[in-house]
Amino acid sequence: MKPSTALLAVAILALVSLGRVPAFAQGAPGQAPGEPPVLRFNLATGALPPLAERLPEEPRRDLPALEGWREGRYGGSLRLLSRAGRDARDLMLLGYARLVVWNENFELVPDILKTVSVEDGRIFTLTLRAGHRWSDGTPFTTADFRFWWEDVANNAELSPSGLPPEMLADGRPPVFEVLDDTTVRFTWATANPLFLPALAGASPLLIYRPRHYLERFHAGYADSKALAAQAETMGLQSWAELFQRRDRLFRFDNPDLPSLQPWVNTVAPPAERFVARRNPYFHRVDGAGRQLPYIDEVILTPTQPGLIAAKAAAGEADLLARGLSYIDAPVLKAAEERGKIKLRLWPIGRGAQLALYPNLNVVSPGWRKALRDVRFRRALSLAVDRDELNQVLYQGTALPGANTLLPASPLYAEADRKAWAVYDPDQANALLDEMGMLWRDKDGIRHLPDGRRADLVIETADTDPAEVDALEVITEQWRKVGIAVLIRSQGRQAARQRIRAGATNMSIFYGLTNGLATAAMSPAELAPTSDRQNNWPLWGLHFQSNGEAGEAPDLPAAQELLALYEAWASGPEEAAQAKIWQRMLQIHADQVFTIGLLGAVRQPVVVNADLRNLPAEAVYLYDPGAYFGRYRPDTFWFAQRLK
């Protein structure tokens, strides 16, 4: 190091220690424009190259088209809270750097990628940004894609289940080609409309890996005996387990694993807090060419769930929504009035915040017959007074109706939301009578056609604090039409196991994940496509396993839904996709395969009063969009509060 450089470094350290370097300085003498001030020491000592050598040749320059958005200033720490026991994946959601991303208008745009070219819906040419680097400065190239494809995805020990479903079209994998250092191509025999949305997911399909780091844990590159010994030391069974432990990009729990996110985690779990610092090689810049993110670091503190609202109200978080629910709003509003926080209430983008799921695969023959009778499902839906439920739970702020899309979706139909969802106990009673459920005991409870009393057990996994409150209201409403409700609460994992085993008659859970869907987004939730669907887990498992497990659907409406989904997945034009969506929504609404309760429930969002560029009003949605990720947290910044 030159004497002058050494003296500069010492001077900077002295200023930092005395607190005399302005927290939001835009640069320092001799520092190139666009350089984050927090990196000045590393630049002065030569630990980092200048910005021109850290950015791709063509960084991402497009910025959010949001009202009130403006370029910001550098500095500060963003404090988050998370539920205790979780890893650092919330940081991966916040950063939301993906090969392609959903922007604020629900359009897919390149992010890490420079361009994407699609031919016939089946040939995808992905072009990287020349000069892009991992967070440790190593070039990010197509070799990282080749490593994932050849050494991870197609390695039987690392991927025993084979390729991810999104990498298969009509059950067949693509042809993978590396065209040059910045271009790869995936070619399927038929269209694959799932591919790009999967790359943009909140929990994305990650089709690349940092080869230079991970090959040291791979038996194809490193000494197998040394890997076995290392695995044994960590209590693992094989080199594959060792590799997978080091390779968890989404969990964000390996500080040594290079990243492409705006902030890089520096702490391994378990930890009292995770600290993620700016990625000096991040690929985005603002309009003035300054490297993003504006905020220097993100601090994520695991917290017991019961304390999250209180800590948020005390001003211990700069940005927070997860772990909060509408019942926390009064406490948070009081904190806002005391000047501790700013509170925003964003509509949640699910099709329904809560929905009832009749299990059409339940083991009990009597209940299976009743639940598969559309008259029974319609009657139960008609017997729910959603306006009363709305007032009791949300002070009338939610949107009553079925579990379908929300009005902001281009596919929304008012008829779908109202189908069998307007309170009408007289019609509900008539439908139950028509089924032959005429016999009521002295308590006024009907009996099923097979003679058993209609004691309907509804199971809750406590995913939302409002679940039990909602069921208690519904219990009284359904008693009026002769249906008794018994509430059973348990953990989520136990609930899922019981549902899949057919031991559960009905459950309550979140509604459609994405209530703002467009025609290009997958309608898989509307058809029996997954064993995680509470209303038909065995039918979903049958599809998921290519017929090797579960049961084939035997209801004509469910069969039609599955056929329609497969037609959508074949990759027709957008107009045809829209028609498929609309037909699936009509079937789902008419057949009441789920009983939606209320949608557009307000999500409390706690914000530091100094935080800028977060929209005042926006939709809160996990996928697509990764909660705050779609609104570009790399462009959030702190303003100095005027004293």
Alpha helices in 26-129 (DSSP H): 40-45, 51-54, 89-95
Sheet containing strand 506-509, edge to edge, reads 399-400, 595-599, 354-358, 506-509, 455-460, 484-489
What is the rounded distance in angstroms from the CA atom of residue 602 to the CA atom of residue 329?
9
Same domain membership, residue 446 and residue 368:
yes
Q: How confident is the model at residue 600 (pLDDT cuts 50, 70, 90)?
A: very high
Q: Residue 24: its pLDDT value, please?
A: 38
Q: Quick one: average pLDDT of 556-570?
A: 97
Look at the block and give the residue holding tokens 């991992």: 134
**Is the preceding peptide bond at 49 cis, omega within 30 degrees of 0?**
no
Mean pLDDT of the chain, nearest integer = 93
Q: Is residue 607 part of a domain?
A: no
Q: How confident is the model at residue 19 (pLDDT cuts 50, 70, 90)?
A: very low
Tokens (6 digits) for 67: 């009202």
Q: Residue 21: its pLDDT value, please?
A: 34
Q: How many domains does the chain have?
A: 3
Tokens (6 digits) for 344: 């925003």
Position 296 pLDDT exceeds 90: yes
Which amino acid makes up residue 51?
A: L
Same domain membership, residue 515 and residue 376:
yes
Q: Is residue 123 part of a domain?
A: yes
Which amino acid makes up residue 537?
A: P
* CATH code at position 461: 3.10.105.10
Q: Residue 32: its pLDDT value, please?
A: 66
Q: Residue 33: its pLDDT value, please?
A: 72
| SS3 sequence of 344-399 | EEEEECCCCCEEEEECCCCCCHHHHHHHCCHHHHHHHHHCCCHHHHHHHHHCCCCE
What is the rounded distance in angstroms from the CA atom of residue 170 to the CA atom of residue 168?
6
Q: Quick one: average pLDDT of 484-502?
A: 92
What phi, psi does 614 have (nearest 5°)?
Answer: -80, 130
Pairing of strands 455-460, 484-489: parallel
What is the rounded distance in angstroms from the CA atom of residue 448 to the CA atom of residue 439?
8
Same domain membership, residue 516 and residue 433:
yes
Q: How confident is the model at residue 533 (pLDDT cuts 50, 70, 90)?
A: very high
Which amino acid makes up residue 151?
A: D
What is the rounded distance in angstroms from the CA atom of residue 569 to the CA atom of residue 605?
36
Q: Is residue 473 part of a domain?
A: yes
Burial of 14 (0-12, 13-18, 19+ CB in 10 A): exposed
Look at the block and give the residue holding tokens 């509804």: 458
Same domain membership, residue 513 and residue 421:
yes
Q: What is the CB-side half-sphere exposure of residue 467 using CA atoms within 13 A? A: 22
* CATH code at position 242: 3.90.76.10
Pairing of strands 399-400, 602-607: unpaired
Q: Residue 9: its pLDDT value, please?
A: 40
Q: Choose among 273, 226, 291: nearest CA to 71.
A: 291
Q: Is residue 227 part of a domain?
A: yes
Residue range(s) defining the domain that contains residue 437: 354-599
Q: Residue 170: its pLDDT value, please?
A: 92
Q: Residue 464: its pLDDT value, please?
A: 87
Distance set, CA 573 to CA 176, 237, 529, 598 (Å): 25, 48, 22, 33
Q: Is residue 329 part of a domain?
A: no
Pairing of strands 455-460, 506-509: parallel
Burial 378-401 (b: 16+ CB within 10 A, else e): bbbbbbbbbeebbeebbeebbbbb
What is the rounded distance in angstroms from the CA atom of residue 592 to the CA atom of residue 136?
52
- The percent of residues above 70 in pLDDT, for the chain, comes to 95
Position 10 pLDDT exceeds 90: no
Q: Choose among 601, 593, 597: nearest CA to 621.
A: 601
Same domain membership, residue 32 and residue 160:
no
What is the rounded distance in angstroms from the CA atom of residue 221 to the CA atom of residue 190?
34
Tell me the per-residue pLDDT of 26-40, one tens digit each, with 9 for 90 and over. 444 445 678 999 999
CB 375 within 8 A of CB 522: no
Tell me the per-residue pLDDT of 163-191, one tens digit each, with 9 for 90 and over. 999 999 999 999 999 999 999 999 999 99
Same domain membership, residue 118 and residue 50:
no
Q: Choose among 34, 45, 36, 59: nearest CA to 12.
A: 45
Q: Is residue 611 part of a domain?
A: no
Q: Is residue 72 part of a domain?
A: no
Same domain membership, residue 121 and residue 194:
yes
Last residue of a domain, one of 194, 223, 258: 258
Same domain membership, residue 559 and residue 465:
yes
Same domain membership, residue 504 and residue 384:
yes
What's the chain's length in residues?
643
Position 155 pLDDT exceeds 70: yes
Q: Can you state the percent helix, strand and coil of the chain, rounding each to 5?
A: 35, 15, 50
